[in-house]
Structure 1
């Protein structure tokens, strides 16, 4: 097409007025004051508004949920049942190799090369500077505050910070990139040579053993593109608020050989970035995206590879951990099928949709020549002083692996609960746990190291409530509004008060849960938990040992068959203690007694003692 004049280009970029001539067409010219551009509708060159919306014979859009249901029905009807991912990590005779590129939005107030603010929830096209839209004559101005989260992220990944790095232009033309190029760091990135260690608790494949180290090749700064929202009828809406938002691109070496391990690595990197407050949000909110490079090659019977790595394909913009694993499995199987049929795997870029069973071709794979990388002439070198790196390294705090180990070893938490505390609410949940624990120990007169981990019952109680009972509040109600300081709608001091009474067995678990709901709804005044128990006469008045024993004697009447199971174990005729039968009897006790006066652990203890000292000797004597 003919060259667009500067005046025409300015009208397009600043006011949204698009000429009817040329390759872009708009339904209605929309205007906005100043540099910000109003909500605009862009139609790709191949599809005009008339074609997209006016055709009476066009097929109506099928809702996505219905598409997924139809796919599942077709899969069931075909009789091809999908394997579970855990059983689909390897294919005999083939080796999978995966490398990952992760793009993470940095936690900054301003864009990378303009003073426009970063915004993800505001009205579209309201935070756009001249440079973001590539207005002729505008120049990039590096915002130095972007360095802080970028360097913290690189340090968390174990990288070496380069004292001098440079910016380059990566050329490509697409509607989401107004300038026709992206500023990145191709030749000299700011960080190199990192390492991430994965353990079974991170979700790696069983074949990877007790740990696997994945090397980070480089971490580079770059700009984000505009946000494209696909609409029915091949219409695409663009939001330029995201143009120029600071990103880091994390590139791993191709060392992953199992889909589950690839998903575990992305999850671990997200957790590391959140722990140092480097990333805006995770995959679920669009703040982190993964591109996966996949190749396969044959292996001999002894597992040794036959030949060099196969041709790789890239799967773009995966936005969930499950999508990472599913897409790798689908692409691996596709490449193997192509090679076994005598075909050739082409180097290309492929896409993946939620609920899919196979990847789809997007375009041929670009190479370095296609992007025409060149040093950016408008930006000087980026110099990072050792003093800055040392200060940031010294303020990193405890990283997730160390904190998880501490929660398990010091407080006796399960690995699953420890990981949940560290990952929930971008690390704020574990801070809330510490706040609750400190206040609880003060009330109980305990020290955090006064008992071995196996005896830290109060810590385990606090973790259980911080995870599970607090989680139940949000199932039927609004968000907890957890703050980075570890406080929420249920103040840590109030939960500590409830748990201290529960730990001393001064209230029942049922009463504790009712008090938690009351605090959540704001029905109890600050520091008023004990007063609420007193005024409601909610104190736990437990049965005596004699009353428990009398209740146990009553419920075992007529349970000769159940008692015989315990006798068989005592005589060595059964290998395992009949715990299920014991809990059956305890359940009968709980139902027969007054709930407000009974503790399940006390009931179990008394029933176990009566079995050994009274009921079984009586059966043997008879």
Structure 2
């Protein structure tokens, strides 16, 4: 084959220009890059489009996301009955076996084999070195700083770091991998032999042992990422090479997981652990961590594992669990019908109830693994490993124990704080708590009280803001560009002292979020708008309670029956109905719902019920 010139090849890769000669034109490959003049709308993307010269005109364009949503709705309608059974963790008579491969992007400023900067949201194709797009003559240059977060991740997973590791080439062709191969570590990875313990609080399946399970990690290897492909309508694809060459670690487990929920819990805990040791900067929700799962089934009692299939690029914890359940059920149905499970690679889409075939399963021979001739061995000094091991910080399990034991948080809230915003939300919580204690003063037992208040607002009230508008702009140091921790602490301090109501506190939070009170401050805003809470007296609360009770005296019968032992439970619904009428009849801005409930309960038990019983006795 005639050698292609560098100028012609660069025009093909970066601008979409094709020469007039050669096999590319002659064979009319269906994924040719069209000339750049055909698509000027997004000039910073490399665009790939199928050849339409022999096909009839296409129908009107439908946005790609709308296509996905319509497909998901159709699948949901036609598979509703199957979906009801999809939440089962086990199938009688069958055993599920799962192995997981997690790809996590490392927290580094440079790519793995080029000095180009790593980026997430920068202009497409703005951080691309010659080697990233396989320009002829370009050579890989290993960036030593990428090894630091990789070693930290391996140590956090309990792995043994190899003193010497080497890079290999994994051959395959796709438009997001211009070299035709990926550089990885297949034969001699930099870490092996780890383990991760999962407890019940991590969300493992209820069928697991009470003391939890341990998942063995076969190896952790470094490798380069591919470019990012964005699917568009009309079978068009945009390619952004900013991600090409970004440093990854691939975490490979042994096939030891037997329940879908446990697999999802494993991925969730790995993400939390990598964030805790500062090895990764983003999680599944932002594309910085992806999971492939290998699924096989066998009949109970069989010793040999069944044929496995691989489901690629799962991008959420729920997708991990749902995809495993769907593939397990597909394989079981196939075997029960007398069929044979084929080793293949399958895909999963948002909202699906079934996996779909992508291609036949490649093996070692298909990938033609070979040592990379352009890269030397990576030698890790024992002193570096010891230093990194000594500076790992607090692991998630220890921190969760502290949040639950020292601060009185529930396990669910502690886990949520650890997972949100790539681990920054828990640091934000600590910042709010410190500022709140400084404003209120520390007393014995007050820390837990402040902590529960702060955790509730850091999780739930801030979460409501993100449902209505943009993100919270959390920083790794635990502060927010949208709601500074100091201003939230100001609001909570006034709320804790009962100087404002919860309703006013939420309004103030929304004003902070919209940057309406950054100059005046929270306290000055409350003062200028007259939002201070001037609570009713006990006598005024009692008068409102009597007023609310008068037209509803018939409900007292339910409370009398409860006191006489004729009712099974206390009629809380009736009580809260009266409290609601009480709140409607008074000045809401001067009323505390908790106090209103206490007063109404007291009046019911000490006044209304005794009066009703006395009236009934006189009637007799």
- Scaled by the length of structure 2, the TM-score of the pair is 0.89
Matched position secondary structure for 2:271 = helix
Contact 2:63–2:232 (8 Å) recurs in 1: no
Gapped runs of 5+ residues in structure 1? Answer: 32-36, 300-304
Residue of structure 2 equivalent to 1:139: 139
Residue of structure 2 equivalent to 1:473: 465
Deviations 1:353-373 (A, max 9, x none): 223332222222111122222
Contact 1:26–1:49 (8 Å) recurs in 2: no
| TM-aligned CA deviation for residue 143 of structure 1 | 0.3
| TM-aligned CA deviation for residue 313 of structure 1 | 0.8
Matched position secondary structure for 1:206 = coil
CA–CA distance in structure 2, aligned partners of residues 143 and 79 of structure 1: 51
CA–CA distance in structure 2, aligned partners of residues 63 and 525 of structure 1: 40
Contact 1:61–1:232 (8 Å) recurs in 2: yes
Over 3 Å counting, the alpha-carbon distance change for 1:172 and 1:78 in structure 2 is closer
Over 3 Å counting, the alpha-carbon distance change for 1:406 and 1:580 in structure 2 is farther
Decide which of 464, 469, 484 is 2:476's aligned counterpart: 484
Deviations 1:489-515 (A, max 9, x none): 322222212211111112212222222
CA–CA distance in structure 1, aligned partners of residues 35 and 302 of structure 2: 59
Residue of structure 2 equivalent to 1:543: 536
| TM-aligned CA deviation for residue 250 of structure 1 | 0.7
RMSD of the TM alignment (CA)?
2.7
| TM-aligned CA deviation for residue 282 of structure 1 | 1.8
Residue of structure 2 equivalent to 1:367: 363
Over 3 Å counting, the alpha-carbon distance change for 1:220 and 1:83 in structure 2 is same
1:96 aligns with 2:99: no
Contact 2:97–2:296 (8 Å) recurs in 1: yes
Return 490-499 or 309-318, whichever deviates more: 490-499
CA–CA distance in structure 1, aligned partners of residues 513 and 118 of structure 2: 33
CA–CA distance in structure 2, aligned partners of residues 472 and 80 of structure 1: 33
| TM-aligned CA deviation for residue 111 of structure 1 | 1.0
Over 3 Å counting, the alpha-carbon distance change for 1:94 and 1:545 in structure 2 is same
Deviations 1:414-446 (A, max 9, x none): 222222222222222222211111111122111
1:266 aligns with 2:267: yes
Over 3 Å counting, the alpha-carbon distance change for 1:518 and 1:63 in structure 2 is closer
| TM-aligned CA deviation for residue 614 of structure 1 | 2.5
Decide which of 381, 405, 412 is 2:408's aligned counterpart: 412
| TM-aligned CA deviation for residue 175 of structure 1 | 2.8
Decide which of 420, 423, 427 is 2:419's aligned counterpart: 423
Contact 2:228–2:241 (8 Å) recurs in 1: yes
1:199 aligns with 2:199: yes
CA–CA distance in structure 1, aligned partners of residues 13 and 527 of structure 2: 68
Over 3 Å counting, the alpha-carbon distance change for 1:531 and 1:126 in structure 2 is closer
Aligned pairs for 1:243-258 within 5 A: 243-258=244-259
Contact 2:205–2:262 (8 Å) recurs in 1: yes
| TM-aligned CA deviation for residue 396 of structure 1 | 2.4
| TM-aligned CA deviation for residue 109 of structure 1 | 1.3
Matched position secondary structure for 2:530 = coil
| TM-aligned CA deviation for residue 62 of structure 1 | 5.2
Over 3 Å counting, the alpha-carbon distance change for 1:74 and 1:314 in structure 2 is closer
Contact 2:169–2:183 (8 Å) recurs in 1: yes
Contact 1:227–1:238 (8 Å) recurs in 2: yes
1:503 aligns with 2:504: no
Matched position secondary structure for 2:345 = strand
1:164 aligns with 2:164: yes
Over 3 Å counting, the alpha-carbon distance change for 1:113 and 1:518 in structure 2 is same
Deviations 1:552-586 (A, max 9, x none): 23322244442222222222233322222222222
Matched position secondary structure for 1:242 = coil
Residue of structure 2 equivalent to 1:618: 611
Matched position secondary structure for 1:207 = coil
Residue of structure 2 equivalent to 1:323: 319
Deviations 1:253-284 (A, max 9, x none): 11111222222222222222222232232222
Matched position secondary structure for 1:467 = helix
- Scaled by the length of structure 1, the TM-score of the pair is 0.89
Residue of structure 2 equivalent to 1:302: none
CA–CA distance in structure 1, aligned partners of residues 247 and 233 of structure 2: 30
Matched position secondary structure for 1:82 = helix
Contact 1:494–1:527 (8 Å) recurs in 2: no
Over 3 Å counting, the alpha-carbon distance change for 1:469 and 1:144 in structure 2 is same
| TM-aligned CA deviation for residue 29 of structure 1 | 6.0
Residue of structure 1 equivalent to 2:3: 4
Return 471-480 or 425-434, whichever deviates more: 471-480
Over 3 Å counting, the alpha-carbon distance change for 1:415 and 1:42 in structure 2 is same
Aligned pairs for 1:190-229 within 5 A: 190-210=190-210, 211-229=212-230
CA–CA distance in structure 2, aligned partners of residues 468 and 482 of structure 1: 16
Contact 1:124–1:239 (8 Å) recurs in 2: yes
Contact 2:326–2:354 (8 Å) recurs in 1: yes
**Matched residue pairs, number?**
600
| TM-aligned CA deviation for residue 14 of structure 1 | 6.6
Matched position secondary structure for 2:475 = coil
Over 3 Å counting, the alpha-carbon distance change for 1:217 and 1:30 in structure 2 is farther
Contact 2:12–2:33 (8 Å) recurs in 1: no
CA–CA distance in structure 2, aligned partners of residues 606 and 70 of structure 1: 54
Residue of structure 1 equivalent to 2:35: 28
| TM-aligned CA deviation for residue 223 of structure 1 | 0.9
| TM-aligned CA deviation for residue 235 of structure 1 | 4.0
Contact 1:410–1:452 (8 Å) recurs in 2: no
| TM-aligned CA deviation for residue 519 of structure 1 | 2.8
Return 388-397 or 459-468, whichever deviates more: 388-397
